[in-house]
Chains A and B, each alone.
Chain A
């Protein structure tokens, strides 16, 4: 800041630093921290290129005391240890045998035996050192999406570093100066490597003394990290085709397609924070939650001032962005949450078939069966009953399959999961996100066939 030629950005930052200097002498970096209540500067990136080494790390944040751990449904949180005040993580890029849903497995790429990689969880102000070992045949790098860090830690292969070759281990070293929802992903041959699943979520919790005023402000509700992505896996094959540009046939939440997705569990009255990230190759995802309205509170760019938030039921998570929404789970039930693009809730849908809606097959089936004994005309009334027909389909495929629900077959797949809110639910069950089973709707609160008397009473003619 002592440079005489101040840029506009430095002037803003300098102003912020001055404002907070009295309080934050011990933590010079914290001057750039976000304040959940106040309007943050739009361009709040600090000068991250100062040498990182001389900086003395602060006290690393601890789960429970400093934050409520985030739950990654169908995923895990990356373990860490503290070495000289630095949180040390280790990511291993490697091939993974991944199950998208019962009946569909594929060879994908990921980290630490998982696709997607484990969620990296840390606290604002933490000094982190992330080792990345490459066990793939291809070179790779890791980009820390949305994180303010020294330019040489940004992970763009060729631009900020040379790529990590097979069997090499690189280290990334930086201090977390923000809080919020971020992502990490390969930034080398992205189309292939991200198409194969090389991505994960980063959740940085706000810290008391930096962005939070006191312990009471620590979020104590349920929070979930959900990565949205898309794949192309032809029925009968077991490798994603990363060459496609449109017509992806498998849309996933945390690399699971319904009925493979694990439901989100909350107790009635709890605050719930959903942290979405989207690293799909080519598609944005409007994620819609039934039964609630929520506020969009953060993006990967920072906190949205409360005055600027508005209620919504669908949040558009664009490619390469994160969206954090919050609501109070005050309505018990099994509430659907899904991408509202209807083709994104189909599994391995074929898009090249003739339109069969309304076709009357007449004696066609009989005639064709002389040539092909297994033939049957399909799709005349849509695709809702496809999964239940039980026809032989290619091995290792779940074409359009939904899942069995409490009342009937759920005719959705892909980016579909269920928020399960219950009055009675144990602390351990909450912490482990344990599925409480189907909601038992109170009598008289379920849609049911209309009786003749009811029709007559209300003058409805059918």
Chain B
């Protein structure tokens, strides 16, 4: 874990595991409103930040180019010369003055302007990507949450009810022991699928948190494999 987090020294000992993850959606302090998420993701995106700095730096350079455009590129210096075989240095001042007749700097300016525009376009592109990533991660989280809630509110109580009712029907000798065990087996399988749904929820949650906190927009949004696949339903009695 420390390796994955890139931690060493005291920081490596400073974190601890949460005993049990909270119930999905139970943390009301968590701001998971889509609009806020988008703004935060744009603000926090490292990729966008980098692009913005590059754009600003280039814009600064463009300003410089413009300011130097009609000023001849003035170069002054000291030139020292010594011919071979001679021991004395000839030192004299040097002045180079371009004559702004054909080259008034238009090429440089156009290049820099285009570069600024390119980076600007790239910035917009990346912003779209970030927003898309937020929306995708958010949609995936919502879907996972809906599934978890459905399991909590419908599937798990229903399976419990099926087991309870089957027990009553067994007591009344309306069904046999095998059917009772089958009901229990179905309940266990449903519990297992509920854990898969919870797993998916927390993975989605982590992805959304990552992208909102500035992480890469190039997230792997493929469905995560469940921890264990649901056991095949048996036909029973064969």
Residues of A within 8 A of B (CB): 234-236, 348-350, 352-354, 368, 371-372, 374-375, 377-379, 383, 386, 391-394, 397, 399-400
Contacts and interface: CB of A to CB of B under 8 A. Distances in A.
Contacts of B165: 236, 394
B176 interface: yes
Given A371-B184, A374-B167, A393 B177 contact: no
A235 B167 contact: no
Max chain A CB contacts within 10 Å: which of B172, B175, B184? B172
Contact of B173 (A236, A350, A368, A392): A350
B50 interface: no
A350 B174 contact: yes
B180 A372 contact: yes
Given A235-B169, A374-B167, A393-B168, A350 B180 contact: no
B169 A394 contact: yes
A399 to B, nearest CB: 4
Nearest to B168: A394
A354 B178 contact: yes
A353 B167 contact: no
Given A236-B165, A372-B163, A397 B172 contact: yes
Nearest to A371: B184
B214 to A, nearest CB: 48
13 contacts: A234-B174, A235-B168, A235-B174, A236-B165, A236-B168, A236-B169, A371-B181, A372-B180, A372-B181, A372-B184, A375-B170, A392-B168, A400-B172
Contacts of B167: 372, 374-375, 392
A369 B59 CA distance: 76
A447 to B, nearest CB: 29
B181 to A, nearest CB: 7
A400 B169 CA distance: 12
Mostly helix, strand, loop or mixed at chain B's interface?
helix
Given A368-B181, A371-B184, A372-B163, A352 B169 contact: no
A32 B168 CA distance: 59
Max chain A CB contacts within 10 Å: which of B163, B165, B169, B184? B169
B171 interface: yes
B172 A348 contact: yes
Contacts of B172: 235, 348, 350, 393-394, 397, 399-400
B177 A368 contact: yes
A236 B168 CA distance: 9
A391 B171 contact: yes
Contacts of A371: 181, 184
The 9 closest A-B pairs by CB, nearest first: A350-B174, A399-B172, A391-B171, A393-B172, A354-B176, A353-B176, A394-B168, A235-B172, A350-B173
Contacts of A377: 177
A391 B172 CA distance: 8
Contacts of B163: 372
Contacts of B171: 374, 378, 391-393
Contacts of B184: 371-372
Interface in B176-234: 176-178, 180-181, 184
Contacts of A394: 165, 168-169, 172
A348 B175 CA distance: 12
A430 B172 CA distance: 38
Nearest to B174: A350
B175 A352 contact: yes
A372 B185 CA distance: 11
A391 B174 CA distance: 13
Contacts of A348: 172, 174
A377 B168 CA distance: 13
A393 B173 CA distance: 9
A211 B63 CA distance: 130
B175 A350 contact: yes
Contacts of A350: 169, 172-175
A247 to B, nearest CB: 12
Contacts of A383: 173
Max chain A CB contacts within 10 Å: which of B163, B168, B178, B180? B168
Max chain B CB contacts within 10 Å: which of A236, A353, A377? A353
A236 B165 CA distance: 9
Nearest to B185: A371
A371 to B, nearest CB: 5
A397 B168 CA distance: 11
A386 B172 CA distance: 8
Contacts of B181: 368, 371-372
B173 A379 contact: yes
A377 B170 CA distance: 10
Nearest to A355: B176
Nearest to B188: A371
Interface in B139-168: 163, 165, 167-168
Contacts of B178: 354
B164 to A, nearest CB: 9
A170 to B, nearest CB: 42
B173 A353 contact: yes
A386 B175 CA distance: 14
A406 B171 CA distance: 26
Nearest to A389: B171
B159 to A, nearest CB: 13
Interface in B32-86: none
Nearest to B166: A372
Nearest to A249: B174
Nearest to A397: B172
Contacts of A375: 167, 170, 177, 180
A392 B164 CA distance: 10
Contacts of A354: 176-178
Given A372-B180, A378-B171, A392-B171, 5 more contacts: A234-B174, A350-B172, A372-B163, A394-B168, A399-B173
A411 to B, nearest CB: 14
Contacts of B175: 350, 352-353
A168 B180 CA distance: 49
Given A372-B184, A394-B165, A386 B177 contact: no
Contacts of A392: 167-168, 171
Nearest to A350: B174
A294 B104 CA distance: 134
Nearest to B167: A374
B177 to A, nearest CB: 7
